Chain A
Amino acid sequence: MSAIAARLRALDWRLPATGRGAITVWWRNFLVWRKLMRPSLLFNFGEPLIYLVGLGFGLGSFIREMAGMPYLTFIATGVLASSAMNTASFEGLYSVYARMVPQQTYEGMLATPLMVDDIVAGEMLWCATKGVISSTAILLVAAALGAITDWRAALCLPLFLLVGFCFAGPALVVASLSNSFDFFAYYITLVMTPMFMLCGVFFPTSALPEFVQGLVVFLPLWHAVELIRPLSAGQPVTDVVLHVGVLALYGAVGFYIAVLLLRRRLIT
């Protein structure tokens, strides 16, 4: 116990301080993305298209309606939330680790006025941006398929950023603890996949056993779905402050812990 206490004491607990530097980190990632934009966008549009056509029309022909909306709409509005989660998480795990370890990009940055806090903040912002890109692609695909018709769905855009931010935090924490790409399998299998299945993306959580329902309210994806589905399907949204608060809290706490861990890892 005292060993853990000593290690905790050794951390630099100052709150993250960042500014323009984070934007230059974000800008670097954006430029790389722009170079590889075509295959990346093909993936962003192609994958949801397959999901929505396959599940929405396929399963939808049996289910037709769920929670007062066509099943295609139900799936589409759920995937809007889960896609921001997946994209931001994968960027925060694999891409961040690639930049940190094999490419030594951060080592290069830390010979400039950029500090660890700037790097983490820039990466958070970039992960969230990727979440926006992928969920916006789904929104367009869903609109083209007629699954989303309400113009209020455009209000989801800032929410995609928030959901991306929310999941970028924990992903960066996992990346900063990791010593290899293989480590991420634990996080994906034990955390992300259960969340994907349990948080109401494919069916309402009311179908789950009661004690599972009690747990689900602690999972950020459930809050993301609770916000994004009604808003994009043209239904009334409830408990906005709670949902936004939970998402922001996960992101902010993850950000702070990632800063603590990476200060220790990158500045020896």
Chain B
Amino acid sequence: MPPPVDTPQYVVEASGLTKRFNAFTAVAGVDFSIPRGGCFGILGPNGAGKTTLLRMVLGQTLPTAGSLRVLGLPMPRETRRVRARIGVVPQMDNLDPDFTVYENLAIYANYFGLSRRAVHRRIEELLDFVELSQRAETRINTLSGGMKRRLSVARALVNDPEMLVLDEPTTGFDPQVRHLIWTRLRSLKNTGKTMILTTHYMEEAERLCDALMIVDHGRIIARGSPRELIREHVEPEVIEIHTPPPELRERLGRLNGHRVEYVGETLYCYTREPRDVLPALEGMPEVSFMRRPANLEDVFLRLTGRDLRE
């Protein structure tokens, strides 16, 4: 593969990017750019337009309007050249069920024009990297879900891409798998690969992303680093109180400078001065509460609301 001729500062540059499916607007004229290097997160509730954005980056969905450059090349015109330089971990594994673990990687490499001989060593390294070396000759349908996911990560690297696109890489997996994948993604980030990740796990975004944007209803509603977003959009501390008695509600109501939210039987008190709030809780040993620093999930819920999205 020839080395990239141009290495622009941004791996993705979108302006006025729009995608409509008949009457439904999935992406509503967004402007953003994703810098080279590091991990960029796209967060949003179900149906917010995350996957549509990624599909446009990959040339799998054609924009209705606006302009989009990926790796400096205009899309969708340069789809072939762009895809040659990207690795994709899809939301649902689409490994080839008719082949073994090793064959899956070799045949996928062939789609990139890389011969089996040329990628043999690389495949062995990748299997090592995702801890599947012992399974090289195993058929796909006997792998566990976590193994399949790891193989998907290895497959996305078979063309030694500059950029990795991950659509909800750990959704539905147990903590062991998630932590292994996070570790591997962090080490990939350190080798200089750019990563674009969609997720609705705020913990994942906080751990991996250097910068992110939150999208909802096809629009970008916030952007920044996880810390910036927390600083900008929520108070630094949260006190969660489970089944607060009415007099506590009254007491908190009298205090100023806090934001109180009820979700079912739980009261969330967002505050800059937890010391003002905690005395109100004294003398109520029967009330259970938890004090914690605000996190990205608080930002997310504040911005996108608590209504269910289905």
Chain A interface residues (CB < 8 Å from chain B): 20-21, 24, 27-28, 31-32, 35, 103-105, 107-115, 266-268
The answer on a CB contact under 8 Å between B94 and A112 is no
5 further A-B pairs in the complex, CB-CB below 8 A; given A107-B90, A115-B80: A31-B103, A32-B99, A111-B58, A111-B88, A268-B55
CA distance A97 to B61 in the complex (A): 21
The contact sample of 22 A-B pairs, CB cut-off 8 A, is A20-B113, A24-B110, A24-B111, A27-B110, A28-B107, A28-B110, A31-B107, A32-B99, A104-B94, A107-B90, A108-B95, A109-B111, A110-B58, A112-B111, A113-B80, A113-B81, A115-B80, A267-B60, A267-B61, A267-B62, A268-B21, A268-B61
Q: Report A9 CB to chain B, min CB distance, Å.
A: 14
- Pairwise interchain contact A105-B96, C-beta atoms closer than 8 A: yes
Number of interchain pairs (Cβ within 8 Å) = 65
CB contact list, B84-127 vs A, under 8 A: 84, 86, 88, 90, 92, 94-99, 103, 107-108, 110-113
Q: Are A108 and B80 touching (Cβ within 8 A)? A: no
With A24-B110, A28-B107, A268-B21 known to touch, is A35 a contact of B55 (CB < 8 Å)?
A: no
Q: B94 contacts which of A28, A31, A108, A266 (Cβ < 8 Å)?
A: A108
* B residues lining the A interface (CB < 8 Å): 21, 55, 58-62, 79-81, 83-84, 86, 88, 90, 92, 94-99, 103, 107-108, 110-113, 159
Contact B99–A115 (Cβ < 8 Å): no
Nearest CB in chain B: distance from A222 CB, A: 36
In the assembled complex, the Cα of A114 lies from the Cα of B111 at a distance in Å of 7
Whole-angstrom CA separation of A21 from B92 in the bound complex:
24
- Residues of A near B86 (CB, < 8 A) are 111
Partner among B61, B94, B97, B112 whose Cβ is within 8 Å of the Cβ of A113: B112
Q: How far is the CA of A101 from the CA of B288 in the complex (A)?
A: 51
Q: With A110-B60, A111-B58, A112-B83 in contact, is A21–B98 under 8 Å at CB?
A: no
Q: Complex formed: what's the CA distance from A28 to B105 in Å? A: 12
Q: Which residues of B sit under 8 angstroms from A110, Cβ to Cβ?
A: 58, 60
Q: How far is the CA of A32 from the CA of B97 in the complex (A)?
A: 10
Q: How far is the CB of A202 from chain B (nearest CB, A)?
A: 36
Residues of B within 8 A of A108 (CB): 90, 94-96, 108
Residues of chain A within 8 A of B103, CB atoms compared: 31
Most buried by A among B96, B98, B111, B113: B111
**Which B residues touch A267, using CB under 8 A?**
59-62
Set B61, B97, B108: member contacting A112, Cβ < 8 A: B108
Report whether A35 and B98 are in contact in the complex, using a CB–CB cutoff of 8 Å: yes
B63 to chain A, nearest CB (A): 11
